[in-house]
Amino acid sequence: MPMPSAVRTTRRSVENVECDALVVGAYQGSDRLRLSADVLTDALAESLGVFSALTDFKAEVGDVRVMPAPDRLRAKAAVVVGLGREESLGPFEARAAASAAGRTIPGARVVGCALHVGLPEDTAHAAMEGFLWGLYRPPDHKSIRGRKRSRTVVFPGVQAQALARARAYADAVGLARDLSNEPASQMTPEAFAQASEQVSTGKGLDCVVLDQQQLSERGFGGVLAVGKGSRRPPCLIQLRYSPADPRGRVVLVGKGVTFDAGGINLKTDPQELVRMKTDMAGGAAVVGAMSVLPRLAPSLEVIGLVPAVENLPGGGAYLPGDIITHYGGRTTEVSDTDSEGRIILADALALASELDPDAIVDVATLTDAIVRALGPQATGLLANNDVLSQELADAARSIGERLWRMPLYKEYAADLSSDLADGRNQPVGGAGGAIKAALFLHSFVREGIPWAHLDNAGTAGTAHPSAFGGATGAPTSTLLAWIEQRAAGR
């Protein structure tokens, strides 16, 4: 991830930050534009306001204008970002506005960002993380690459601890995006495992990777079945963060399908196939979150499980009508090989249930149904426990991501019944697909364990990779905020 070479704070006032570009926020008002938190003098605000009026700047959330800096600033340029109305500003709006600014920043060597100044703690964090998020650029595979330039980002007036937290979140999201953005021929199951081992080496994480033989010996029938159609063998990545005197234990499970062609039920839309390198975005979010836990140091034991496979229609591919025996013994009739994510997650959820967790959260680009229901602005949340559901929703809200809880109607489970096995992976009837997929997963969670499923099929990527860097990393930040808040007893 091409992050800034340095991210630091300074005690200097906003006006005295020496930089090539200074980023400030502006609120919508009925009479004139007003800079956020009054970080600049009235004279400077008036100067910027005049320029903004001339460029028809309305200060809507994410609207950005780059302009010459007034003489009294020690910056060469001013970047004014719309924050919307002050009374409506929260973490979501701050994150969106800040990331828009980061994407718009010209090739400046030193950038000052004052979007966090004067804001409440959660909103300030979202602004800092969002700005760093916006600076992200995907891995560059061009034959002739532009010269890499070092960049320093300065956040005036912020405590070092708060800035370190924002940087850790941004690094976690950046790793998740990098993993998802790599071409599938390079980010294979083996490469995914190696990347996970690399981020754990010497960094306070334990990493164990079960290879194909070990998966066979231990009975991970779902992971093995989906991986049969590829010459690249599947694996199961296990990461563990174990602090001293933890307050409890939670397990994160992420879908790691490094490329999904649909198997024998081959996908027919070429554009959909192009996006399938990001079908491991759930697993990437888990690995990204796990990678920074030693830096954040929450007093909670966290285990990450990511089954990594390719779903291809090779000569050994699993077939519609096959019966799979999962880890733990439950069986599934395969009714659609393109519903492979739930098959590999079933194994991982069964294993997670054996680890005596206080809660399990899985993340997966699981269904088109959630995209049709919520679009790209919210991750679907389905849970068997109201308290856990509320914890996740509060965590997402605090850092500016969106979750939307969907029902988990038990009556729909009848559509997953099979005459030949304990269940089928694709339900009878198309309606309610996101709910039915979650019900399939729930059947592999041991009774009594609080569990939640996050379907990020809509939020994991964007249709404009050149502008936004393809994969978004959602909901990595939500996972981190939930872990921190749970460890703190909130």
Name the pLDDT band for 145 (thresholds 50, 70, 90). low
172-487 CATH fold: Aminopeptidase (3.40.630)
pLDDT of 470 above 90:
no
pLDDT in tens, 367-420: 999 999 999 999 999 999 999 999 999 999 999 999 999 999 999 999 999 999
Closest listed residue to residue 221, CA positions, set 322, 127, 116, 372:
322
Per-residue pLDDT tens digits for 351-362: 999 999 999 999
Which stretch of 61-70, 405-414, 472-481 has the lowest confidence by average pLDDT?
Answer: 61-70
213-247 tens-digit pLDDT: 999 999 999 999 999 999 999 999 999 999 999 99
pLDDT in tens, 162-177: 999 999 999 999 999 9
Strongest mean pLDDT among 98-107, 135-144, 232-241: 232-241
- pLDDT-based confidence at residue 49 (cuts at 50, 70, 90): low
State the pLDDT at residue 465.
44
Mean pLDDT of 250-271: 96
The residue type at 77: A
Looking at residue 67, its pLDDT comes to 83
Q: Is the pLDDT of residue 108 over 90?
A: no
Whether residue 177 lies in the annotated active site: no
Going from N- to C-terminal start, the domains of the chain cover 6-137, 172-487
Of 240, 342, 424, 486, which residue is the catalytic one?
342
Contact 190, 233 (CB under 8 A): yes
Kindly state the percentage of the chain with pLDDT values over 90.
76
Q: Is the pLDDT of residue 32 over 70?
A: no
Q: Which of 19-33, 301-315, 357-371 has the lowest mean pLDDT?
A: 19-33
Q: Which of 12, 76, 85, 267 is catalytic?
A: 267
pLDDT score recorded for residue 466? 44
pLDDT band at 38 (very low <50, low <70, confident <90, very high): low
pLDDT at residue 146 is higher than 80: no
| Top-confidence residue, 36 or 288 | 288
More confident residue, 87 or 464: 87
CATH 3.40.220.10 assigned to 6-137: yes
Task: Round the average pLDDT of the chain to a whole number and report it.
Answer: 91
CA dihedral 481, 483, 484, 489 (to 10 degrees): 120
CA 305 to chain centre: 16
Q: How far apart are alpha carbons 447 and 235 in whole angstroms?
A: 27
In this predicted structure, the answer to whether residue 41 has a pLDDT above a threshold of 60 is no
Q: Which two tokens stand for residue 303?
A: 């285990």
| pLDDT interval class at 142 (50, 70, 90) | confident
| Interval 299-310: pLDDT, tens | 999 999 999 999
277 included as an active-site residue? no
Over range 1-15, report the average pLDDT. Answer: 80
Average pLDDT over residues 15-36: 79
Does pLDDT of 33 surpass 70? no
Instruction: Report pTM.
Output: 0.95
The amino acid occupying position 393 is: A
pLDDT higher at 315 or 107: 315
